[in-house]
Structure 1
Amino acid sequence: MHPKVKPALRRAWRERQTVQFGVTRAHAVLVGPVDTATGSFLELLDGTRGLPLLREEARAMGLPEGRADALVERLAEAGVLDDPAGGGAAADALRERAGVVERLRPDLASLSVVHREPGAGMARLAARRALRVQVRGAGRVGAAVAALLAAAGVGRVDVLDGGFTEEGDVAPGGLPYGSVGERRDTAARQLVRRSAAGGAPREAERARAGGGEPALALVVVAPRDGLAVHAPDPVVAETWIASGTPHLYAGVIEATGVVGPLVLPGGSACAGCLALERADRDPGWPRLLAQWRSGRGVTGAQACDVGLATAVAGLAAAHALAFLDGELPGTTGARWEVSLPQLDWRSSRTAPHPECPCGAAGGRRGERLAEALPPHDTMTASPA
């Protein structure tokens, strides 16, 4: 290990013997007491020295025997240190692609802050390269989600949609004006290729050469018709439920953006649970929904504010990436909504329904998934 203070954590002296690493309440860490010699030792943690050399430097500074190891261990546990050579074989392979790493450097810095153990950021960035995600929908939300996932290093992003690109599909970060008139799926594939860091990952290239097809890690359901997100059709989700494929809903209807729920089949509420729960609360809901799904009442372009659509796409992509990186984001079993003009995000839980055949109401899969994930470190963090 060649310890290095994480570049993303800004360092400042809170007072003469206390150093604060990081600015925000969520990630800031206080280290103290720090005397003059220890402060000088901290300057050496720049990734160019291994532990043997750091021990020698510590002795030359007059630090007691064993202090270098203790400081490195303490800082690593607190999430302050990274290992520039850590992360395993996949991370080593990614480092060989210098251009890709430089393109993803800001994402790597973020991952290093979120995942505290040394080398964990690079390990997760490398793991994204082997994942396959499907985005269903290439409108203002879906196309932007696909582009964001590709830009964040997800190795394979497939986009499914029909028809041809219309002028109303065009949005910054999504389909460009030059794609108007092209098939939506073709235009979306081109967008994904342009957005991806360094082109197709070698992992995906090897899989295609060997005829292999990586399993879907996640489906993002972002249809151009926001009704299919506000009131998702259980029939459409049957295949994902049967195959155990996690799926996340995201879209805009009228002037309201929706992100979630993230459905873990057998572990959290699905589209069927949502439909049954809504019918329990509102007996007239199924009749209304049948009319809306038939197209009755649709007289013009669907409302999809470009700013709102972009915000929804950004939040959906962030939640998708958190899940792909091994976390359970806030949309797991919950729905986030925001409406114009106040733009106040609000969340509501989506509980499994006892009569839904998905089995989530009587299963413990969601709890087992949560138990299997590494817990967040609870080192002392200062207020921002």
Structure 2
Amino acid sequence: MHPMVKPALRRGWRDLNTVQFGMTPAHALTLGPVDTATGSFLELLNGTRGTALLREEGRRMDLPDGHVDRLVERLSRAGLLDDSRGGGEDADALRRNKDVLDRLRPDLASLSLTTSEPGDALRSLAARRALRVQVRGAGRVGAVLAPLLSGAGVGEVDVLDGGRVEPWDVAPGGHPAEAVGDRRDEAARRAVRRAAPDRPPRRGPTAPPEDGGPGHSLVILAPRDDVAVHAPDPSAAEPFLASGTPHLYAGVVEGTGVVGPLVLPGETGCAGCLHADRTDRDPAWPRLVAQWRSGRQRQVRPCDLTLATTVAGLAAAHALAFLDGRTPSSAGARWEAALPGLHWRARPVTAHPDCPCGAAAKGNREHTAEEGARRETMAEQWPSAEVRHRAGAERSAGTWRAHV
């Protein structure tokens, strides 16, 4: 191990004996008491020295025997250390590809904030290269969202849509003006290839488009149809539920941005649950949806450029959190914000007992008093810095980690 204090966290001295790592409440931690010699030794934790050499440096600085090991262990338990040579074989391969790694260094630094074990940040970044994501929809949201995922290191991002690029599809980061008239899916795939750090090989023009299935880590539904955003059709998600494919909804409807729900089949509420719940609360809901779907379509639907870009960015962030093994807040919820106030709020999408997806039955089995007691016991046994990381890893390392 070649320990280094995570460079993503700014460091400052709160007083003569207390160091603060990080600025924001979400990630800041304090370490104390720290004497002058130990404070100087922290500068040596920069990833250029192995533990043996660090022990020698500690002896030269007259630090007590075992002090270096205890300090490294303490920093590691607090999630403040990384390993400049850790992460496994895939991480080593990424290190050797310096041009690609340089493109992804901001993403690597961000991952270091949300991982605890040394080497996990680069391991997670390298793991993205083996993932396959499909984006369904290449309008102002989908055509921006797909390149974002590709640029963040996701190895294969495919886009499905019909028709050709219209002038109102053009958006910074999505379809360029010169793509007007081209097939939407092909234009979006070009944007994906341009965004990729290492330009994945281009799929042959005669290859059939792949349907979202077990081979995909995630499918993102970003329809251009605003009715499909507001009232997602449960039948459209049946193949994903049958194959156990996680899927995330995102889009813009009448000046309202929507991200979620992230559906983990059999685990969290789906489009069918959403429809059933709305019908329970409003008996007229099915009648309205039928009229919206069959009524005369506007040529150009309201989709504010900045709101669409915001939705694309937020959806990409939720997707990456899931792909990296976490459970984002869109699992079982829809995040919505409407112009002009843009106050984001979460609307729960609870598993409905009448929905055939089975999520309600599973939830009833798992949320027991025994499970709650077990988690409380675990929380009491772990230091607070470790609880946040391990609890998040526990939630996402089971069934759905296999899809990633």
TM-score where L is the length of structure 2: 0.87
Q: What SS does the aligned partner of 2:192 have?
A: helix
Find out whether 1:379 has 2:385 as its counterpart.
yes
Q: CA deviation at 1:298?
A: 3.1
Partner of 2:161: 161
Question: Are 2:116 and 2:386, in contact at CA under 8 Å, matched by a contact in 1?
Answer: no
Residue correspondence of structure 1 range 178-189 to structure 2 within 5 A: 178-189=178-189
Partner of 2:343: 344
Question: 2-side partners of 1:380 and 1:25: how far apart?
Answer: 16
Q: What SS does the aligned partner of 1:20 have?
A: strand
Find out whether 1:310 has 2:316 as its counterpart.
no
Question: 1-side partners of 2:299 and 2:92: how far apart?
Answer: 53
Q: CA deviation at 1:99?
A: 0.4
Question: 1-side partners of 2:229 and 2:249: how far apart?
Answer: 6
Partner of 2:170: 170
Q: What SS does the aligned partner of 1:361 have?
A: helix
Which one has a larger percent helix, Structure 1 or Structure 2? Answer: 2
Letter in 2 for 1:287: R
Q: CA deviation at 1:309?
A: 0.3
Partner of 2:115: 115
Partner of 1:132: 132
Q: CA deviation at 1:366?
A: 10
Question: Are 1:134 and 1:159, in contact at CA under 8 Å, matched by a contact in 2?
Answer: yes
Q: CA deviation at 1:365?
A: 10
Q: CA separation of 1:97/1:15 partners in 2, compared to 1, >3 Å: closer, same or farther?
A: same
Question: 2-side partners of 1:380 and 1:256: how far apart?
Answer: 38
Q: CA deviation at 1:380?
A: 9.3
Question: Are 1:116 and 1:377, in contact at CA under 8 Å, matched by a contact in 2?
Answer: no
Partner of 1:222: 222
Q: What SS does the aligned partner of 1:99 have?
A: helix
Question: 1-side partners of 2:100 and 2:144: how far apart?
Answer: 21
Q: CA separation of 1:377/1:179 partners in 2, compared to 1, >3 Å: closer, same or farther?
A: farther
Q: CA deviation at 1:300?
A: 3.8
Question: 1-side partners of 2:215 and 2:178: how far apart?
Answer: 32
Q: CA separation of 1:107/1:214 partners in 2, compared to 1, >3 Å: closer, same or farther?
A: farther
Letter in 2 for 1:230: H
Letter in 2 for 1:49: R
Q: What SS does the aligned partner of 1:262 have?
A: strand
Question: Are 2:162 and 2:183, in contact at CA under 8 Å, matched by a contact in 1?
Answer: yes
Partner of 1:238: 238
Question: 2-side partners of 1:117 and 1:167: how far apart?
Answer: 48
Partner of 1:250: 250
Deviations 1:351-375 (A, max 9, x none): 111011111110149969x99xx99
Question: 1-side partners of 2:336 and 2:365: how far apart?
Answer: 23
Q: What SS does the aligned partner of 2:117 have?
A: coil
TM-score where L is the length of structure 1: 0.92
Partner of 2:393: none
Question: Are 1:8 and 1:110, in contact at CA under 8 Å, matched by a contact in 2?
Answer: yes
Q: What SS does the aligned partner of 2:360 have?
A: coil
Deviations 1:145-167 (A, max 9, x none): 10100000000000000000001
Find out whether 1:4 has 2:32 as its counterpart.
no
Q: What SS does the aligned partner of 1:39 have?
A: helix
Q: CA deviation at 1:198?
A: 1.4
Percent identity, aligned pairs only?
64
Question: Are 1:165 and 1:180, in contact at CA under 8 Å, matched by a contact in 2?
Answer: yes
Q: Which runs of 5+ in 1 are unaligned?
A: none
Q: What SS does the aligned partner of 1:363 have?
A: helix
Question: Are 1:267 and 1:367, in contact at CA under 8 Å, matched by a contact in 2?
Answer: no
Question: 1-side partners of 2:260 and 2:172: how far apart?
Answer: 23
Q: Which runs of 5+ in 2 are unaligned?
A: 208-212, 373-377, 388-404
- Runs of 4+ aligned structure 1 residues displaced above 6 Å come to 374-377
Q: CA deviation at 1:143?
A: 0.8
Shifted more, 241-250 versus 224-233: the winner is: 224-233
Question: 1-side partners of 2:291 and 2:152: how far apart?
Answer: 39
Question: 2-side partners of 1:135 and 1:329: how far apart?
Answer: 18
Question: Are 2:163 and 2:183, in contact at CA under 8 Å, matched by a contact in 1?
Answer: yes
Question: 2-side partners of 1:10 and 1:83: how far apart?
Answer: 18
Q: CA separation of 1:189/1:299 partners in 2, compared to 1, >3 Å: closer, same or farther?
A: closer
Deviations 1:232-273 (A, max 9, x none): 101100000000000000000110010000000000111111
Question: Are 1:139 and 1:223, in contact at CA under 8 Å, matched by a contact in 2?
Answer: yes
Partner of 1:301: 300
Question: 2-side partners of 1:331 and 1:347: how far apart?
Answer: 8
Aligned length: 368
Partner of 1:54: 54
Q: CA separation of 1:289/1:170 partners in 2, compared to 1, >3 Å: closer, same or farther?
A: same
